[in-house]
Structure 1
């Protein structure tokens, strides 16, 4: 398991920076700010969304494809990460929230009261998941045209 700084742990736990970490080992397409794209398998991702891809293909603005064994994408360059279709987004987020993206199996349960900040973060995560679930249900009920 990777070692993350406390700042990275915070970003992974409280923002969408968790996705590159959760997608390690999966093949993804990353759109960049300069109108180019990179496709490959995420080998390493940190809490700041810097990704190292293997077996990458760089796709330039004109559609030309350039293969690379290793390719690094800095966090500032990422516009969008396309999540593979075989991954259930809702279930992945629920599992990440339940187990924590960074947590190892605990030896003994943590005792003590949760702080207000922890309670509020958990409540917001639950509200977000509920809104996503309602939106997907509405999309499924809507007939295709």
Structure 2
């Protein structure tokens, strides 16, 4: 269950943030907007895709590598998150969101369907009358 502000919950349920959140505890490579990248263990992901890393290596655009124990990256600076090949994307999303729920029948859609059927019936009757004349 995701805990956060209503805006964070919206992002979690309506974007692929749930997939990134499922990567907690795994070593992942994240490309940044400034052409640098980070390889490390994701310790936390919040509702705005801000990521906290532990035991990581930061590689700057010039190719220099720096080791850090902890690092925080704002979501707006992330360009790409590399998903491990061993991870099934669809099953991970379903697992993170709590499985599939039964679809809710929209009563309004049923009523509209009856209206459409009635309108089609009237249209066919009108066409039949015009053909008989």
TM over 0.5: yes
Distance, in Å, in 1 between the alignment partners of 2:12 and 2:80 is: 17
Aligned to 1:108: none
In structure 2, the residue matched to 1:142 is none
SS in 1 for 2:72: strand
Larger radius of gyration: 2
Partner SS for 1:92: helix
Shift of 1:6: 1.6
The count of corresponding residues between Structure 1 and Structure 2 is 106
Unaligned residue ranges in structure 2 (runs of 5+): 107-133
- The verdict on how the C-alpha distance between 1:48 and 1:115 changes in structure 2, with shifts beyond 3 A counting, is farther
Which residue is 1:49 aligned to?
49
Name the counterpart of 1:67: 67
Unaligned segments of structure 1, at least 5 residues: 101-112, 117-145
Pairing 1:83–2:83 present: yes
Q: CA RMSD in A?
A: 2.5
Whether the 8 Å CA contact 2:3–2:9 is kept in 1: the answer is no
> Quick check: 1:58–1:66 contact (8 Å CA) kept in 2?
yes
- 1:31 matched residue in structure 2: 31
Q: 1:53 to 1:89 in 2, by over 3 A?
A: same
